[in-house]
Amino acid sequence: MEELFGNLGQLLSSTIRNATPLIFAALGGMFSERSGVVNIGLEGLMLISAFAGVVGAFLSGSALVGLGTAMAAGLLFALIHAVMTITFEADQIISGTAINLLALGGTGFLMVEVFGSGGTSPNVQGFSPVPIPLLADVPLVGPALFNQSLLVYLMYALVPTTYFLLFKTPFGLRLRGTGESPEAVDTAGVNVFRMRYFGVALSGLLASLGGVYLSMGILSAFTENMTGGRGFIALAALIFGRWHPVGAAGAALLFGFAQAFTFQAPQDVVPLEFLQMIPYILTLVVLAGFGGRAIAPAAIGKPYRKE
């Protein structure tokens, strides 16, 4: 029985660790797309933030400084996407793809410039697990849920906070309105362009938390292309969750479980290469089975031109 509890606890803990960056990115994508701007650049935002966080921690010796540089990088690249798509009305898919390619090539180049070689950076100060007294001692779920890093606890708080902000505040009403009917919102005196800038900026800040969790929460170093498609999986979670924070978080937990299962499954029975495909196969199945049923914001992907 103890061995069974131990295995279940490890699976649950691994699920939380793998779902955390997806939840951060999915919540960020939700703000952007609820405002009417498609952001497939989440992958690139996570990657450049993961790198910037390690550089900041490497130069300062502080994980908090690394977190600050990561969020600054995520915000900067998100604003680039906002300027291109909102101000200059560039194609949102192309702009997001450019962000992804720029992050992939740029981090590879900067790895050599900053650390002298590619591949993997030196180890830096990361975010170690911080057990919560009493809660961490609860059998099975305690160590998995309450012996995590501060970034995981921040993720716990952000899901209900995001729900409240989006559905219970005037800001959330205006943001959702710009994604559904920008003309009506504009008529009511709300600046559509400003609200869309806010949405994209928030997507960059939240995606940066997902990136820095990968490089300084799970690991304590940056590895080239370490996001490994997680930004696209987060987009799938966002669609599967119907652009709702609770639904997106639940979908991200499902994908996190699929990734955790690949590490727990017996590799002598199932080939490792097949196990590593499971999260991506699940992404395709979800998009094929549920993507068409999910109703996106009505004005998503459409530039707004003030008459």
pLDDT confidence of residue 295: 83
Distance CA 191, CA 180 (A): 14
| pLDDT tens by residue, 149-193 | 999 999 999 999 999 999 999 999 999 999 999 999 999 999 999
**What does the chain come to in residues?**
307
Residues whose CB is less than 8 angstroms from the CB of residue 255 and which lie 6 or more positions away in sequence, other chains included? 18, 19, 22, 233, 236, 237, 279, 282, 283
* Segment among 25-29, 161-165, 271-275 with least mean pLDDT: 271-275
Burial grade of 124 (CB within 10 A; 0-12, 13-18, 19 or more)? buried
| pLDDT tens by residue, 198-247 | 999 999 999 999 999 999 999 999 999 999 999 999 999 999 999 999 99
C-alpha torsion angle, residues 184, 185, 186, 188 (rounded to 10): 90
pLDDT confidence of residue 94: 96
Closest to 257 in 3D by CA, of 278, 231, 238, 229: 278
pLDDT confidence of residue 62: 96
More confident: 189 or 278:
189
Delimit the domains of the chain by residue range. 10-128+135-290
Helix axes 192-213, 63-82, angle to 10 degrees: 140
Helix axes 230-240, 272-290, angle to 10 degrees: 40
Q: What is the largest CA-CA distance in the chain?
A: 68
pLDDT confidence of residue 232: 94
Distance CA 100, CA 41 (A): 5
Specify the 3-state DSSP secondary structure of 244: coil
pLDDT confidence of residue 284: 76
| pLDDT tens by residue, 51-110 | 999 999 999 999 999 999 999 999 999 999 999 999 999 999 999 999 999 999 999 999
Domain 10-128+135-290 listed as CATH 1.10.3470.10: yes
Model confidence at 1: pLDDT above 60: no
